[in-house]
Amino acid sequence: MPKSKTAKVTGAKTKTQTKTKTTRKRSPSKALKQRSLDIFTLLTELYPNATCSLDYKTPIQLLVATILSAQCTDERVNKVTPALFAELPDAATLAGCDRDRLETLIRSTGFYRNKAKNIQGACQMIMGDFGGEVPSEMEQLLKLPGVARKTANVVSAHGFGNIQGVTVDTHVKRLSNRWQLTKSDNPIEIERDLMALLPQSEWENYSIRTIYHGRAVCKARKPQCDDCQLLQLCPSAKEYLD
């Protein structure tokens, strides 16, 4: 009898697992899609000239600047890169430079040892595997040391005009949750949710404008809801209004 009981329990688990495995995420509602488009339309009106705030001249410089921007402000990165790129302007010089020298040049961006390792590793791979040219496709970019989807999206979109996803940084994560366009804290899931809501041509434009709004108005600790043009579209505003 115990053996038979165990068999039933095992069978029940298998059935449950099969059911869970075939469960799919529901598509966003028409109302949510419309609200996301309304938010994007307002963001476009508020920040019509918004663009990547990192200074660069070539895809490799954009890649390096984006790696440096981790846990660092774009403003600080833009103060570091002129001297860096004057001395080490391309993948070849970055790949072959003295590591200590590279660390010295980027020290003020924080986590400089790890960043130097990733920058040099990425440049060495670019020289060895990609003919000295930064790849433009997501799959190839993700092979580079120190490059996850956020960096890959920035480089492919702004370096090559190749829109392959939504860049999710701390501002995009915070505001997309406040606007309830996603319920996730996971950048991969947030990106997936936003890609389902917005047309592909506007994925990166949404990110850039959301970043601008996050810096100027919808701040982390004290969002300026009284001055926010998106107030009527924000389900979270009541949490912050007096």
Catalytic positions, written as ranges: 150, 169
Query: How far is the C-alpha of 187 from the C-alpha of 152, rounded, in Å?
Result: 13
Question: How many angstroms separate the Cα of 192 from the Cα of each of 36, 202, 222?
Answer: 14, 14, 28
* Cβ atoms of residues 217 and 180 within 8 Å: no
Q: Which of 44, 35, 31, 28 is nearest to 210 (CA)?
A: 44
Q: How far apart are the C-alpha atoms of 54 and 120, rounded to whole Å?
A: 20
Position 133, amino acid: E
